[in-house]
Structure 1
Amino acid sequence: MRPNFYLQNFLRQPSIRAAGEFSLPLIHAPISFVDVGDIAHVAARVLTTEGHDGRVHDLTGPEALTYAEVADEFSHVLGRPVRYVGLPDDEARAAMLRGGMPEFHVDALMEVARAYREGGAETVTSTVPDITGVRPSGVPHSCAGTAGSSAGSRGSGGRAGEPAGPHRLSRGREEPPAWPVP
């Protein structure tokens, strides 16, 4: 299975609720974000049904959106403005390092940002509904999950209505601001 950019990365952006914005490396192109719950449902089917040996399943959400369009979705769900702040590479890198992210991880995320910047992640596949029989969750579902979570929390990665809980490091501290993980 090859999932595209996880929708739940937005749930790790407490600044959406706290400040009405989220900052990520500057990317202009649309991305077909995929919900981790959809990935889990596909995995369950792939592991329990025949016909998947040796096959590659590209997993995406139902549409490709830019970060600015995702901010618009959050604005609609939260009932107040939310904006995307695209950071130049040097500022994004410095912010991740200040947040305590290991340098090797920062390097990998910056490479992904450069690859996605002008395109390459906008393809939408029908794999999720083809395998599960259910339409992928999409960005509005993720936005609603974020709106229903407390600041600094993230959803369980499941479907609407499932409980959300705080994401903590092993020592009980709040996790530092996260950056996208494809």
Structure 2
Amino acid sequence: MRDAEQTRQNILTVAADEIHQHGFKATSLSVILNRCEISKGALYHHFSSKIELGYAVFEEIYTPMFLNVWHTPLDVDDPIEGLCDFLTAMTEDMSCSEVVCGCPLNNLCEEMANVDEGFRLRILSMQEQLNQLITDAFERVSDDLRTDLAGSQVGYFIVATLNGATSLSKSSRNKVLFQQVIAELCLYIRALKK
């Protein structure tokens, strides 16, 4: 990887961490510059503005990371159990900082969707991609599922419940509450089977 590519990737990685820790608006370009040990000119060589940097973090770091995490549980023979295993493992593996900081993608969605049209459109695209992953997985095993299901609505409901649980755990700083909501979500998901 060339130095310019490494510098750009380092900026994205640091910015993603800063946005996760502090939110987009409170993220300081000065802190990013200091952590990356680069000049302002080097930053602006790669990104013309803070908002462009935010878009790049969303598109190149958060969205692929988020969608890739969902592929594994949905690509198994039984995506219902795969999804429940995935969600249950999430409750067990969640660190204290994740309880306090929340999901980086969910945080950015909550903060920026109503503030910036560029973020809103990127968030919508990512949500549609995730919903399609869930819908496709359920269609693959549709013979095992109830016939009255609307796959797209089910996918959005699952993600909305997870996002709500994440927000609850963040605001309450209560991992147990997150675990309880996810346990209920898994009951719902398993009830999708015939």
Q: TM-score, normalised by structure 2?
A: 0.26
Q: Which has the larger radius of gyration?
A: 2
- Report which of the two has the higher share of helix: 2
